[in-house]
């Protein structure tokens, strides 16, 4: 019997009942657009990296996205039932191997590397492509890019908490201050939601770490938004920032930073004080520190006024030629091609209920929104702009559930013909029937 494998750039991964990473997604691995000079993501990356200079920080990229579930989840303390592990949210090559869902998958490896005496760096940034099964709309794409960063301080045995905190405050004093308005209403720790890791840290150390973390990241946004407002031809509202409480399995306390942009608060990054167990398990028990992770597309879309996340993957000269490294410009949209929406309505197979994710007995396929999205994406590739659930009801007599989705087809590069859309839509319908066991209406 021949063993089935998935190949990713010459590496073979045996498939099993967890495998769900389709060729269309895997084809993005080789693109490496964050390495491509004059690409807006490359430019955004360089701009942020300039805020994390040598010799304190090393700036890295990780170009191979296949990692173990140990790296992506276990090493970071994700509980066994965390929703991020589910096959509806994550692309699996097999039970033990995934396309990384975040750059944090490399934290333990980077901490281990910092233990090397030859490495005098106290922190790092790392940029990489990450993969998530998600909705389809103009700000979500199953492949996107994150930058992770961390900064560690040595705390040798015998050093008191007061001495340790004082050293971090000394580094804090070296950070430039800025005049930007920052809302920051919460205490640094919360006894239930964001507890002090009291087994390892003192309150004064964590106060110092969080102050350093906040100021460092505020400065990143002050820098990039001052560049952006120089490029804008209309006067911009002054930048406003806000810190809110968050939760991540691998940091405590945890925070998110939001930016007020064109009338809305937008979340731009997650961060926190690294769980000491992670450092202890990665060969650096004598250090404490902070980490952050941010999405590059989200920031680049704000900076350049890019309206659709699919554009980052475009090879169209009308897009690519607008950008050059070192300078922020306002994206000039080229013509917008007409949209064409089509509805698809179907009955769920009787044993399946939408949204439970529980595996149904008797061969019925449990229905999850993200599975529907994956089918549309596989059939339509990049000519789908968004997919929305527009109707949902339960038949009063049979108890069967019906869903109706509206698929909005639009190419960024040409006008779609009726035939093109009809063919793709027919493929979506067939595929829904065949792989999800639904009954088309
Ligand atoms: N990995 C987190 C995410 O993808 C972000 C994060 C990184 C949070 C590092 C805290 C520390 O949402």
pLDDT for position 235: 74
pLDDT for position 335: 82
Cα-to-centroid distance, 365 and ligand 1 (Å): 32
Q: For every one of its 441 residues, what pLDDT tens digit does the chain have, with 9 covering 90 and above?
A: 567 999 999 999 999 999 999 999 999 999 999 999 999 999 999 999 999 999 999 999 999 999 999 999 999 999 999 999 999 999 999 999 999 999 999 999 999 998 876 778 999 999 999 999 999 999 999 999 999 999 999 998 899 999 999 999 999 999 999 999 999 999 999 999 999 999 999 999 999 999 999 999 999 999 988 888 887 777 778 899 999 999 999 999 999 999 998 789 999 999 999 999 999 999 999 999 999 999 999 999 998 999 999 999 999 999 999 999 988 999 999 888 999 999 999 999 865 555 444 443 444 557 899 999 999 999 999 999 999 999 999 999 999 999 999 999 999 999 999 999 999 999 999 999 999 989 999
Strands 340-347, 11-14: pairing kind: unpaired
- Could you give the CA distance from residue 277 to residue 57 in angstroms, rounded to a whole number? 23
DSSP assignment string, 338-398: PPEEEEEEEEPPTT--TT--PPPSTTPPPP-HHHHHHHHHHHHGGGEEEEEEEEEEE-TTT
- Could you give the CA distance from residue 337 to residue 415 in angstroms, rounded to a whole number? 5
Strands 5-8, 123-131: pairing kind: unpaired
- Could you give the CA distance from residue 5 to residue 2 in angstroms, rounded to a whole number? 9
pLDDT for position 365: 58
What predicted TM-score, i.e. pTM, was given to this entire model?
A: 0.93
> Cβ distance 374 to 341 under 8 Å?
no
pLDDT for position 334: 85
Q: Is the ipTM of this complex over 0.95?
A: yes
* Mean model confidence pLDDT for the chain: 93
Cα-to-centroid distance, 293 and ligand 1 (Å): 4
Token pair 């989840």: residue: 73
The residue whose CA is least distant from atom 10 of ligand 1 is 271
Residue 230 CB neighbours (<10 A): 10
Question: Best mutation site among 100, 293, 294, 295 for ligand 1, i.e. most ligand atoms within 8 A of its Cβ?
Answer: 293
Residues in the chain: 441
Instruction: Report residues whose beta carbon is within 6 angstroms of any ligand 1 atom.
Output: 102, 104, 148, 248, 251, 270-272, 291-293
pLDDT for position 364: 53
Strands 240-248, 251-261: pairing kind: antiparallel
């Amino acid at each position: 019997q021949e063993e089935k494998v998935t190949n990713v750039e010459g590496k073979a991964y045996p498939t099993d009942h967890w495998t769900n990473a389709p060729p269309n997604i895997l084809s993005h691995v080789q693109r490496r657009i964050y390495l491509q000079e004059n690409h807006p993501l490359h430019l955004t990356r360089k701009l942020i990296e300039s805020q994390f200079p040598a010799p304190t920080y090393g700036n890295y990229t990780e170009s191979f996205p296949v990692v173990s579930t140990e790296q992506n989840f276990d090493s970071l303390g994700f509980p066994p039932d965390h929703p991020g592990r589910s096959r509806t949210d994550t692309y699996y090559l097999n039970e033990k191997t995934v396309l990384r869902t975040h750059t944090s998958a490399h934290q333990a490896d980077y901490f281990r590397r910092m233990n090397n005496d030859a490495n005098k760096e106290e922190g790092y940034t790392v940029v990489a492509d990450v993969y998530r099964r998600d909705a389809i709309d103009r700000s979500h794409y199953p492949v996107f890019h994150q930058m992770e960063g961390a900064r560690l301080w040595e705390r040798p045995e015998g050093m008191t908490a007061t001495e340790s905190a004082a050293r971090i405050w000394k580094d804090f004093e070296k950070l430039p201050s800025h005049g930007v308005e920052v809302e920051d209403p919460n205490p640094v720790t919360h006894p239930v939601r964001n507890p002090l890791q009291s087994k390892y840290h003192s309150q004064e150390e964590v106060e110092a770490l969080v102050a350093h973390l906040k100021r460092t990241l505020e400065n990143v946004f002050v820098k990039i938004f001052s560049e952006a407002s120089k490029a804008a031809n209309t006067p911009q509202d002054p930048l406003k920032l806000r810190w809110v409480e968050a939760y991540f399995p691998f940091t405590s306390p945890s925070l998110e930073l939001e930016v007020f942009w064109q009338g809305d608060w937008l979340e731009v990054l997650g961060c926190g004080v690294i769980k000491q167990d992670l450092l202890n398990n990665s060969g650096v028990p004598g250090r404490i520190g902070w980490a952050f992770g941010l999405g590059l597309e989200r920031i680049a879309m704000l900076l350049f006024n890019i309206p659709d996340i699919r554009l980052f993957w475009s090879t169209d000269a009308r897009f690519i030629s607008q950008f050059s490294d070192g300078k922020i410009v306002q994206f000039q949209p080229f013509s917008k091609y007409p949209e064409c929406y089509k509805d698809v309505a179907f009955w769920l197979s009787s044993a399946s209920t939408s949204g439970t994710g529980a595996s149904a007995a008797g061969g019925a396929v449990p229905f999850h929104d993200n599975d529907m999205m994956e089918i549309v994406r596989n059939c339509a590739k990049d000519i789908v702009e968004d997919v929305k659930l527009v109707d949902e009801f339960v038949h009063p007599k049979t108890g069967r559930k019906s869903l109706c989705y509206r698929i909005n087809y639009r190419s960024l590069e040409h006008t779609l013909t009726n035939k093109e859309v009809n063919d793709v839509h027919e493929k979506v319908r067939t595929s829904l029937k065949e792989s999800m066991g639904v009954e088309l209406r």
